[in-house]
Every structure is written in structure tokens, then in C-alpha cells.
Amino acid sequence: MPKSSIADHIDDWQRLLATAKASAADVPGLNVQIAALEETLAQVQAISAIQDTRNGLRQQGTQERKVAVKKGKDLASQVRAILKGNLGIRNARLPEFGVSAVGTRKRTKANQKKKPPQAGPASNNEPEPAKQPAPASQSTPEE
């Protein structure tokens, strides 16, 4: 059975009801089925309307939540800035509020021990003088 949307079913049922009502007098027992289909059609349309309303409310709620979250982030940033300003940038209590304190940097072992320069031309930090190109040979024209 091919997949169809609810709107396709509703359109199909409405067309079927319109044509079936015209033939109801000729077919015995058709009126009962037509009435049942009309009732089901009305029920599906009502449920679809409720779902459309819920989807609209859900979308509106999502938009309102985004605005509120943005406002909350801004306010949290302001609170942290005020705390940092009042307590100082190096206060040990700042991490309690989600703010990293500025501290003195510790030297790592690699930075504390510097390797002595190696003997030889490779350790010389001065650039080597550039070699000048050999002069072009001057030739005299032979006569």
C-alpha cells in the first residue's frame, strides 16, 4: 500500500463522500457506511486541527525558550563580570562561580633548563654570509 499523507486521505474521503451520496439511493446499505465515513472524517479533521495548534504552540514555546536562554546567558555573564570585578582577577573563590582566576604562570621543567649551545658552526646563531656569485666570464670577440 503506497504511503499517503493525512491530507491526501481527507481529500480522497471528501471526493468519495460527494460521489457516493449521489449513488446512495441505488445501493442498499451505503447510507450507513457513508454516515460512518463522515463521522470518521470529522474526527480526523478535528484531531488534525488540534495537532496543528499544538505544533504552533510548540514552535512558539521553542522560540520563547531561545530568547530566555539568551537572556540568561547574558545575565550570567554580567554576574560573573561583577564578581570578578569585586573579588579581583586572582581571587581563589572565582572558580566557585565558573570563572577562571588569573594566576602566576609556573615554569615548566623544559623552560627552566636551557641546553648549552653546542660547539661548532651549527650552533652559531649568526647567519652565514651569503656567497657572491662568480663573475661572468668576459670574452673578447674574435676577429
Residue 93 has pLDDT above 80, yes or no: yes
Q: Which whole number is the average pLDDT over 38-43?
A: 95
**pLDDT for res 109:** 72
Amino acid (one-letter) located at 44: V
CB atoms within 10 A of CB 38: 14
**pLDDT for res 16:** 92
pTM of this prediction? 0.49
Torsions phi, psi for 132 (to 5 deg): -85, 145
CB atoms within 10 A of CB 21: 13
Measured CA to CA, the distance from residue 94 to residue 92 in angstroms comes to 6
**pLDDT for res 46:** 94
Q: Which whole number is the average pLDDT over 29-56?
A: 93
Amino acid (one-letter) located at 92: A
Distances in Å between the Cα of 53 and the Cα atoms of 8, 46, 58, 59 are 20, 11, 9, 10
Q: What is the mean pLDDT of the chain?
A: 81
Residue 101 has pLDDT above 90, yes or no: no
